[in-house]
Amino acid sequence: MAIFGFKNLTFSYPEAEKHALQEINLSIEQGEFIVLCGASWCGKSTLLCHFKTVLTPHGDQEGERLFNGVPLIAVDDRTQSSEIGYVLQSPDNQIVTDKVWHELAFGLESLGYDNQTIRLRVAEMASYFGIQDWFMHNVTELSGGGNSY
């Protein structure tokens, strides 16, 4: 069974003269690596926003969106948040806290995990990636390349 499936997905923005997406049929299996490419304004971002209900743009939609065989609209927000990842085009615009440790904890806090579990998971993650020395640094001190962190 596919993790994601779109069946005849058609979408139009309000008052648009043509469809942004038209009869998209797509099936994504566990472990598949998919590349989505195309010209500017061809609907790539619009399609990606249809992978999560909280990101779905306002407009007219037809067809089915399935997650693990279930209509996406029936998948609760917590499940979507914990099992469907999404990184926007500019990751720098997604920073929500001031310190590295809090940025690492933010997602777990949003999912309602208790403090002990959050601390344990953040410590495990930091240890795994070897970044425990960065915990107290401001996220603005992190480098996209040339600096030591």
pLDDT (tens digit, 9 = 90+) per residue, 90-102?
A: 666 677 788 888 8
| Coil, strand or helix at 149 | coil
Q: Give me the half-sphere count of Cα atoms (radius 13 Å) on the Cβ side of residue 96.
A: 9
Ranges of each domain in the chain: 4-86, 93-141
Tell how many helices (H) and how many strands (E) occur in the chain.
4, 4
- The residue among 73, 17, 19 whose CA lies nearest residue 9 is 19
Residue 61: pLDDT band (50, 70, 90) is: very high
Count of CB atoms situated within 10 Å of the CB of 143? 8
pLDDT tens digits, residue range 3-25?
999 999 999 999 999 999 999 99
